Structures are given as C-alpha cells and as structure tokens.
Amino acid sequence: MFLRPPKKLTNYGSWALITGSTDGIGKSLSFDLASKGLDLILIGRNPQKLQTTSNEIWAKFKTKIKIILIDFEKTSGEEIKKKIKEEIEGLEVGILVNNVGSSTNGARFYHEIGLEGMGSLVNVNIGSVNWVTSAVLPGMLQRRKGAIVNIGSGSSLVVPSYPLFSIYASTKAYVAMFSRSLSLEYKQLGIDVQCQIPLLVATKLASIKRSSFFVPSPEQYSKASVRWIGYDSLCVPYWTHALQWYLFNAMPDSLVNWLLLRYFLNLRKKILRKENKLA
C-alpha cells in the first residue's frame, strides 16, 4: 500500500481547497498540491499568514491562488457556506482538504474546559467539516468527480482512550465516522471521501518542535498524505504511524490506558507549573 503510485490529482478537477492552510500539515499540503499542478483556494483566519503562504507558493509554482478569510471559531455555519459558495462559483474544485483543527490549551480535565472552550472545539473540528463540505460538494456532484480528504487523529481510533483531551478526541471520532459514511454514499457518484489518520506530527497544534522517527515533520507527513488521496476511506498515510497503530493494538487496553493517563497527568503538571510562573 505504501508503495503504490499516487493518483493523478488533476483528474478530479483543476482547483484544490484547503482549510487551515497557513500552518503545519495544511500549509505543507498546499505546497504539495500546487506541485501536482493544482490551483489553490487557501482558507485561514490570519490575513497576514494567508498572504505570506500565498506569496511563497506562487513564487515557487506560479499557480493560481485565491485566499478566503474565515474564522471557523466565530463565524456561523450559514455565513461560512455562503462565503465559500460565492468564492468558488465557476471554479472546478476537485479536491477538498478539511484540515483546520483546534485543541484545548494543554492537557485538561473535562470540567476545566468550560462551555466556551467546548463550543470552540466543536465549531472548528466538527462544524468546519460540515459547513465547508456542504459548500463544495454540490459542484463535485454536478461534475460527478471529486475527492474529499478529512484530517482525523490517532487519538480517536488508534488508542482505546485519550484522557485529558476527551473533547478533542471525540470530535475527531466524528470526523472518522462522517468520512466513512460519506464514502459509501458518494463513491457511486464519482466522489472519493477519505479520513486520513495522523498520529503525532511536529506541529504547533501538537506542541512538538522537532521531528523524529515516529514524529514526522509536516513536510514529511504531507508527501505521504498526497500519495493516499483517492484510495481507502480510512487510512494512516505515514508508515511509522501505521507501525505505531500495530504496536498499540498488540498491547492490552488496560496497559495503554494506564500509560496514557500517566503521561498526560505529568504533562498537565508541567503546563500548570509554567502557567504559575507566568502568573
């Protein structure tokens, strides 16, 4: 599977739309999709980062680029759908990458998050996938071709639980089931829907600065990600992540749960100490 050839992505359409396109996996995917000959629609909430990313990609690939400013945390679903539909009118959007994501500010017990934090996670991690997909899907249906890639998380499938990140992991479980269900619904209509499952990647969201054998850089992960577009409805694109999944599955759930709880409780202590020093 890891050695099979990638699909010719321009066969889906000439444009790719990427959310969360200014940092981490999303930014690297934008570069890699441009390298495959696709024009880009970049969505983000920071106008400076959007413009910088757009300029960097254009300087390297001379591809057409549109930027759309959206804050998924604060904008209603109706507004998001309306804005995207207006911006992509007349464009052959063949690939949609629902990448934007959010997590809690460090390891937190459920009762410490608060209603505002809960709402933010649901809006960004679940709402965005629904709203953007509903804006882009009709055009794909009309053309009877397209690929939708939803970026999930190993926290929702690889391990039996994910303590102190309970809401984040739960939102990503939604993304996985949403993707698998849509894959069955729309495969017969020419649309490939897929949930890609990364484990840890050296990104700002994961609070990891350096890559390693089991923790790829965004650039390393993205290259694997692009090779899997259009294949299985649920996949782990990066090979060392797949190896980790195999190892976790070989361990008793009780042991994995104990290890995770211990690790995240220690992480929480470090975060609290840091916050107390800054207070």
- Which residue do the tokens 């990364």 mark? 198
Q: What angle do CA 128, 133, 135 make, to 5 degrees?
A: 100
CA-CA distance, 140 to 153, in Å (whole number)?
26
Q: Which amino acid is at 181?
A: S
| Residue spans of alpha helices (H) in 62-124 | 77-87, 114-122
Q: Copy the structure tokens of residue 154.
A: 């190993």
Strand-pairing partners, residue 146, are 191
CA-CA distance, 211 to 229, in Å (whole number)?
23
**Which is catalytic among the residues 162, 168, 186, 238?**
168
**How many C-beta neighbours within 10 Å does residue 89 have?**
8
Active site residue 162: no
Q: Which amino acid is at 75?
A: T
- Which residue do the tokens 């507004």 mark? 79
CA-CA distance, 62 to 43, in Å (whole number)?
19
Helix and strand totals (H; E) in the chain: 9, 7
Task: List active site positions.
Answer: 168
